[in-house]
Structure 1
Amino acid sequence: MLEQIKKEFHKWLDTIDREGLNVSFDDAGDFINAHAVSFAIDMHFGNKSAEEIGAFMKSVFDYVQDEVHPVFELKQCRAIFNNIQQLPEPRRTIQLSKLMSDMERNFSIPMLNNEVFNAANVEVVSLYREVSNARDL
C-alpha cells in the first residue's frame, strides 16, 4: 500500500512540475495523508488489526519525514538562494553564508568532505557547492 501511495505521489509531483505549479510541503503532506487515511479505512473494514493499521500509518509518516520533507526543504533552499542572488554585496555573501549554515544543519552536511554522504545526497551537495561558490570571498 505504501508503494502505491509513493507511485501516486510521484505522479502528482510530475503533474505539478509539468504544469509549473508551486506546492508546499504541507500540500504534499495533505495529498499523502488523504491517500493514507483512505487505505487505513479500507484496512479497518478489511478486518486488519489496530497494530497493522498503526504500523502502516507509521511507515507513511516515516516516508514523509525521510523522503518527502527533504525534497521540499531543498526546493525551499533553492528559492532562497535565487532570492539572495539579487542582493547587493556585502549583504549577499553574508546571507549566502547563513544559507550554508542552515543547509549544514537541516541536511546534516558533514564538516569534512565525505564521499559516502556526497554520493547519497547529490542534489543537496550540488546546491551547497553552488551557494558556496557564489560567495564573494
Structure 2
Amino acid sequence: MRAGGIVKYFIEYLGGYRMINRLEEVKQRFNKWYSENANVTQYGIEEYFTEVMYNEAVTLQRDYEASAIEIGEFVIALNDFIEEVLNSTELLLASYERQFESACSMKEPTRSRFLSNIMDEMERKFKIPRQESNEFDAANPEVMALYSRVSSARDL
C-alpha cells in the first residue's frame, strides 16, 4: 500500500470513528431530553429528531468538514436509532396509556369505539395473538396489563 493509500485509510477510519462518537452524543442528548420530558408524545419525539438531524448534518459539514458520504452514513445510522426509539415498547405503552386516559373521559358509545381502536392498534403493533396465549402474556406482561385494562373499560 502506498503512503497516500495509508493516509486515506486513516482519514476514512477516523471519519467513521468521529461519526460513531457523534451518534453516541446524539443518543445521550436524546436520553437526557426524554427523561426531562416524560410526557412527550411520539409526534414530539419526531419533531425533536427532525431538528436534531438537520442541526447535526450542518455541524458535521461545517465543523468536521464531513463528506456527503459520511453525512449520509450518519443520517442512516441516526434513522435506525430513531426507528428503534419510536418502536420501543416503553414509548408505545406510554402513548397508549395517554390515549386510554383520554378515552375514559369520553361519553358512550364514543368511548367504547375509541377503546376498541386502541386495542386494534395494540394488536397490530405488539402482534398480540387473536387467541389467548399464556406464552405471549408471560413474555409481555406490561403490554397485556394495559390491553386488559382497555378491554375491561369498554361498555359492550
TM-score, length basis structure 1: 0.68
Report sequence identity in percent: 33
Partner residue, 1:40: 57
Partner AA of 1:9 in structure 2: F
Report the Cα distance in structure 2 between the residues aligned to 1:52 and 1:117, rounded to whole angstroms: 43
- The answer for the alignment partner of 1:83 in structure 2 is 102
For residue 77 of structure 2, what is the aligned residue in structure 1?
59
- Residues 95 and 40 (structure 1 numbering): CA distance in 2 closer, same or farther, change over 3 Å? closer
C-alpha distance after superposition, 1:54-105 (max 9, x if no partner):
1211221222223235555433321221133234566644443332112112
Matched, 1:108 2:127: yes
Residue in 2 that maps onto 1:30: 47
CA gap 1:54/1:117 in 2 versus in 1, 3 angstroms: farther
Instruction: Measure how far apart 1:136 and its partner are.
Output: 5.2
CA separation in 2, counterparts of 1:34 and 1:72?
A: 20
Aligned length: 132
**CA distance in 1 between partners of 2:43 and 2:154 (Å):** 31
With over 3 angstroms needed to count, the CA separation of the structure-2 counterparts of 1:117 and 1:47, relative to structure 1, is: farther
Contact 1:5 1:36 in 2 (8 A): no
4+ long deviations beyond 6 Å: none
Query: What's the TM-score, normalizing by structure 2?
Result: 0.62
CA gap 1:101/1:26 in 2 versus in 1, 3 angstroms: closer
- Decide whether the 8 Å contact of 2:53 with 2:75 is kept in 1: yes
Tell whether 2:121 aligns with 1:99: no
Q: Structure 1: any 5+ residue segments left out of the alignment?
A: none
SS at structure 2 position matched to 1:84: helix
Gaps of 5+ in 2: 1-21
Higher Rg: 2
Structure 1 residues 75 and 51: alpha-carbon distance in aligned structure 2, compared to 1, 3 A threshold: same
- Indicate the RMSD between aligned Cα atoms, in angstroms: 3.1
